[in-house]
Structure 1
């Protein structure tokens, strides 16, 4: 990470506060060490200064500024949880906190960083050859090369094992055919990590933009994640050299391990979106005067703010706990599913309650709430729907798979 400035937020060690901080009711920040607070504060400051003044415009235009990639790379956020090749090599909790602060800005921003680091860089780092790592990872860490992850297909979302995209050998080369859908960063990516069915099983392939037969089409008409590029990938007789395949993995283990990394970032990110909505509602109701007093002074409003504060802190505590498990090498996929399932659910509830507390103002981009609320509808379904994570947990609890 770039060298942080002075600490400027809650949750520093020392004597207990005289009263709880309404923005960190359970003093979750006290659980963090100095490195974790430094990461949190650096990213929070970046979001406040670089993102929040413009993100409403990006959302309104349906655009993600490509130049932001180098800014994110400059402060060490791209692939920050990976080691070597220009990556920061931080622990899981600092990475999660960065995702939390990024999504407090916008889900599209956190999605960009998650896809770049956990879905595009991670498989190269974990399963790539030495040459592939040296060729791609340093430039991806710097934001000079943008990556995307091609797994989901038009008819294969929650069931990636039914993918139709194929790769066949033709002499020393591979030839890929198929279509991928709902691909974050697809239209701006310089490199796609595409998963395809081969004779020996599912394999990952590195497909540079501009390869003959490879094209993208951006999804139009989105009402969610508008400050993010979502695309279709089309592969028509795409010919790749033998060294384009990731040599270190065969089977669905490869893409599923990447998804587990991304879901970890999401469970932190959802807590950030929830916090942003709660803080917007708190500020608004304290300033808004009706019947001669601040709206926050009414009992019904205080109950709603209380429920929101509890949900926000519950999500943050769960995220930090799962991060500690991951740093200790104890985190298992079912626990990630629990975090993704509940934190997104809590964030959606907070966003909808906040929207109501802002009244008519809650539907405008002058305030962040409607943007977060719309974004969270996508967060609820990507990287595993609520139903899929419920079945993952059901199998973990009972030992009986119920997917088929």
Structure 2
């Protein structure tokens, strides 16, 4: 499928590229080293509309469409994957879920300021013993008059510490996917606290934390959707989230390819530039083919979603292929750099670490293959 981007989409891509190069790239390595949350950059992104790209204009969003969003997210990831994953979870899962399932009161209270970048959204599904199998979750929400009392632990939650609102999945009935409900939880609730902050391999400027709930009383009005709809909300959000992670993976790989081309043109061995050696030229050709193949899968998934069609298979294909491609390409980038690629002075070392998680979150790639097979063959 050939894609002819519109003038508006190209304009958004260009704006994101220029912002990323000026505001994010110069700070990315230091933020990776210090684990500094990119709060000031996110504020600027909110001002530019990057945090409400999928939100309708009615709630202050840009309504730019999934294709333009994917293009922008890839440009952000090309400069700083940590900022990109925050943008992805916020836009794809959190804003999308609130707009689709929230009440008008919830949209005014949360979606409108989120679209403006006033605060960031987090999505709390994973638990210590419930990752790929969300139906195994044990976090509970028990009705008590006009409130639900929530108890349990969530793990590996992106923006869980710095986010302003958390979409929390908890069990309101004992068994099955229909026993899971979603809630909009904020840090001001008694009994809600942040636990361990993970010391990660990559994407170190985005916070990944445990969230702890100890008799946390949440008003029933904070339920997102209806009781028992949580699993459906989560799966719908993850379809969009997988397009986000695919776009992020594409951006990391593009950065690694660009850096490899630049290095091979300047680094000399045996009296000539590396770019003159056929073996390295072919490596870069293979990397470029990988990136372009992923780009088509990612844009296809984004277009399918933008057209309102079922994007489950397309999103999983894009996420699975693009994330595995990012690992191949960043690995080859280190190989092209030789020993220099293994030290932190050169950015390909960070790209390699940042790419590794992309095959794991928003559903491992083993889960993506199950999803794709189920869409093609039906569930067994």
Equivalent residue number for residue 327 of structure 1: 306
1:233 aligns with 2:207: no
Aligned length: 374
Instruction: Flag the structure with higher helix content.
Output: 2
TM-score using structure 2 length:
0.95
Kindly report which structure 2 residues correspond to 1:149-188, keeping only aligned pairs within 5 A, or say none: 149-188=123-162
Instruction: State the match for 1:46 in structure 2.
Output: 19
Partner of residue 252 from structure 1, selected from 208, 231, 237: 231
Alignment counterpart, residue 376 of structure 1, candidates 344, 355, 365: 355
2:166 to 181, 192, 200: 192
What whole-Å deviation, never above 9, does each CA across 1:77-103 have from its counterpart, x for those lacking one? 113112021110111100110111111
Any idea what the Cα deviations from partners look like across 1:203-253, whole Å, max 9, x if unmatched?
A: 111111121100012433312211211010000000012211113561411
CA RMSD of aligned residues (A): 1.6
- CA drift of 1:67 comes to 2.3
TM-score, normalised with respect to structure 1? 0.89
Q: Is the Cα contact below 8 Å between 1:99 and 1:266 reproduced in 2?
A: no
Q: Show the counterpart of 1:13.
A: none
Asked if the contact 1:79–1:118 (Cα under 8 Å) also holds between the matched residues in 2, the reply is no
Structure 1 partner of 2:179? 201
> Mean Cα displacement is larger for which, 28-37 or 227-236?
28-37
CA pair 328-190 structure 1, distance change in 2 beyond 3 A: closer
| Pairing 1:130–2:108 present | no
Superposition pairs for residues 342-361 of structure 1, below 5 Å? Answer: 342-361=321-340
Structure 1 residues without counterparts, runs of 5 or longer: 1-27
Per the alignment, residue 70 of structure 1 pairs with: 43
Q: 2:168 is paired with a residue of what secondary structure?
A: strand
1:101 equivalent in alignment to 2:79: no
Alignment of 1:299 onto 2:273: no
Unaligned runs of 5+ in 2: none
CA positional deviation for 1:65: 2.3
Larger displacement relative to structure 2 (248-257 or 371-380): 248-257
Residue 288 of structure 1: aligned partner: 267
- 1:140 correspondence with 2:119: no
Quick check: 2:182–2:224 contact (8 Å CA) kept in 1? yes
SS at match of 1:73: helix
